[in-house]
């Protein structure tokens, strides 16, 4: 289920019109992995909890967030998340039920109109079970005044009856299925997933897990097509629904209880990758060494590590392999000639849970240290960057498409080498446009074989393998 898009517009209006209503509330830390600006922050709000019920709210918030983060793929990346609970106090307990949806009679929920801070209500947009906050001004002010660095908001409506919604803010009640409802709704809110049941023509659209494409070689989840359970399944019920297809028949985005299907899990992970740099801290940032004798220590002092650990760590010195797998290395100054040297470490998540549709995409985090050795001593300065490389199709016959995205605007060059190290092609003096670079490279003029595409972005160097047919 989803909240109507009109609510999002109201949020922005409320942000500017009602800032005077802001108040500072108590914020509890339920899970803490590190600074809010470095990690993904889940913020839980309650509605319909009175001042006397705040301990109950914190317990409910902890139980709900713990359940979500215990589900794969969230559990694989739990170390990437902070969880906070904001004490939103309502004058009265409960959740509004105006009893004005066409399907209310079948739900057997009593009519109610409690005075609550966020005014969560059943019967939203004519659907009884759709529960969402209606006082978006209060909601926006709570977030902006108490935790503006949120990445995902969970709202718990204090009602024992079944309901919830996705959209901008995932919402559930305290019904026995509420934890599964929230896990489903967060699929909408966090990852932009569609329902895998047919929710109605107004919600039908091309999404990561919804499509009109029926060709198994072209469908957006084509890389998963040989996986048990993954297919191209037609939605039910005739009419417009028959034009749309889903990847699985037993996914959490279709029914409560099962796991997320591979396509939905991949989409959640890609969203996680886009929000966080796994390199949290490194040393040194800057350093002056007066003696030419000691080893120079370098370390990734804090990483956000998935479970199981699928991070690939590679160190290079002056473009040559130095070490892999370690979070710390030492460079012997005695082996360095006078002048500038570059030590770079790259961190890449190699999880098998991602098979990026339509192209092969990776996210790389890099730290580079410039080492300047002189007769009077050595100075070290550091810089970091996040880099995304997409290369498709692979294998390739005539042309291959390259998409690069970078946080830093750095000088850029691209070269193709054969397995003997011979340079076959080079593109120089390239530049990023608003953090992006796209180029179609003609490879029809090189022989069949395996090649390495090398990207030099500022002081960093990245490579990808491709096969020419």
Q: What is the pLDDT of residues 217-264, one digit of tens each?
A: 899 999 999 999 999 999 987 789 999 999 999 999 999 999 999 999
Q: What is the pLDDT of residue 22?
A: 59
The rounded radius of gyration (Å) of the Cα atoms in the chain is 26
Strand partners, 389: 362, 404
267 assigned to some structural domain: no
181 assigned to some structural domain: yes
- Domain of 96? 6-191
> Euclidean distance between the first and final Cα of the chain, in Å?
45
Q: How many domains does the chain have?
A: 3
Instruction: Please answer whether residues 356 and 223 qualify as being in contact, where contact means their C-beta atoms are separated by less than 8 angstroms.
Output: yes
Reading the block at residue 292, the tokens are 């030419």
Strand partners, 233: 246
CATH number at residue 92: 3.40.390.10
Question: What are the two backbone dihedrals, phi and then psi, of residue 163, each rounded to the nearest 5 degrees?
Answer: 170, 165
261 assigned to some structural domain: no
**pLDDT band with cut points at 50, 70 and 90 for residue 409:** confident
- Domain check: are 396 and 432 in the same one? yes
CATH number at residue 343: 2.60.40.1930
Please write the tens of the pLDDT for every residue from 289-343. Answer: 876 568 999 999 999 999 999 999 999 999 899 999 999 999 998 899 999 999 9
271 assigned to some structural domain: no
- Domain check: are 243 and 133 in the same one? no
Helix (H) / strand (E) element for 142: namely helix 136-146
196 assigned to some structural domain: no
- Domain check: are 390 and 250 in the same one? no
- Domain check: are 177 and 142 in the same one? yes
- Domain check: are 323 and 346 in the same one? yes
Q: What is the pLDDT of residue 314?
A: 95
- Domain check: are 177 and 242 in the same one? no
Report DSSP state, residue 210.
B
250 assigned to some structural domain: yes
Reading the block at residue 266, the tokens are 């991949």
DSSP 185-202: HHHHHHH-PPPSS---GG
22 assigned to some structural domain: yes
- Domain check: are 221 and 72 in the same one? no
1 assigned to some structural domain: no
- Domain check: are 311 and 329 in the same one? yes
- Domain check: are 310 and 424 in the same one? yes
Q: What is the pLDDT of residue 292?
A: 59
- Domain check: are 167 and 217 in the same one? no
Question: What are the two backbone dihedrals, phi and then psi, of residue 61, each rounded to the nearest 5 degrees?
Answer: -65, -45
pLDDT of residue 208 exceeding 60, the answer is yes
**pLDDT band with cut points at 50, 70 and 90 for residue 83:** very high
**pLDDT band with cut points at 50, 70 and 90 for residue 432:** confident
Task: Give dist(CA 355, CA 274) in Å, integer.
Answer: 15
- Domain check: are 405 and 295 in the same one? yes
Strand partners, 207: 210
- Domain check: are 179 and 207 in the same one? no
pLDDT of residue 446 exceeding 80, the answer is yes
User: Of the candidates 191, 221, 244, which is a domain's last residue?
Assistant: 191
């Amino acid at each position: 289920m989803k909240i109507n898009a009109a609510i999002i517009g109201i949020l922005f209006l409320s942000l500017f019109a009602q800032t005077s209503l802001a108040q500072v509330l108590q914020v509890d830390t339920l899970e803490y992995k590190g600074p809010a600006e470095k990690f993904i922050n889940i913020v839980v709000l309650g509605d319909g909890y009175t001042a006397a019920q705040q301990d109950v709210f914190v317990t409910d918030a902890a139980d709900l967030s713990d359940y979500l983060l215990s589900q794969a793929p969230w559990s694989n990346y739990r170390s990437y998340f902070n969880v906070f609970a904001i004490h939103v106090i309502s004058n009265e307990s409960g959740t509004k039920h105006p009893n004005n949806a066409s399907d209310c009679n079948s739900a057997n929920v009593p009519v109610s109109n409690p005075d609550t801070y966020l005014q969560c209500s059943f019967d939203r947009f004519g659907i009884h079970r759709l529960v969402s906050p209606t006082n978006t001004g209060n909601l926006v002010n709570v977030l902006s005044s108490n935790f503006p660095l949120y990445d995902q908001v969970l709202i718990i409506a204090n009602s024992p009856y079944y309901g919830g919604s996705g959209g901008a803010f995932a919402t559930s009640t305290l019904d026995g299925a509420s934890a599964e409802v929230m896990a489903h709704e967060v699929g909408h809110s966090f990852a932009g997933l569609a329902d895998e049941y047919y929710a109605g023509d107004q919600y039908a659209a091309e999404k990561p897990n919804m499509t009109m494409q029926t060709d198994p070689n072209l469908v957006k989840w084509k890389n998963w097509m040989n996986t048990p359970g993954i297919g191209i399944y037609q939605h039910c019920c005739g009419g417009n629904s028959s034009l749309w297809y889903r990847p699985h028949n037993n996914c959490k985005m279709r029914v409560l209880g099962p796991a997320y299907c591979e396509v939905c899990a991949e989409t959640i992970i890609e969203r996680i990758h886009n929000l966080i740099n796994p390199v949290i801290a490194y040393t040194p940032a800057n350093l002056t060494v007066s003696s030419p004798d000691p080893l120079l220590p370098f370390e990734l002092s804090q990483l956000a590590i998935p479970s199981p650990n699928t991070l690939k760590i590679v160190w290079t010195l002056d473009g040559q392999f130095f070490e892999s797998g370690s979070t710390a290395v030492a460079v012997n100054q005695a082996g360095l000639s006078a002048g500038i040297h570059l030590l770079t470490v790259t961190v890449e998540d190699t999880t098998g849970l991602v098979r990026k549709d339509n192209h092969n995409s990776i996210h790389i985090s890099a730290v580079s240290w410039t080492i300047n050795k002189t007769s009077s001593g050595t100075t070290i300065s550091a810089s970091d960057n996040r880099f995304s490389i997409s290369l498709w199709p692979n294998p390739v016959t005539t042309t291959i498409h390259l998409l690069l995205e970078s946080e830093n605007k750095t000088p850029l060059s691209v070269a193709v080498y054969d397995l003997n190290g011979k340079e076959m092609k080079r593109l120089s003096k390239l530049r990023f446009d608003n953090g992006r670079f796209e180029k179609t490279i003609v490879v029809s003029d090189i022989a069949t074989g395996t090649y390495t595409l090398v990207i030099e972005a500022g002081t960093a160097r990245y490579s990808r393998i491709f096969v020419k047919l």
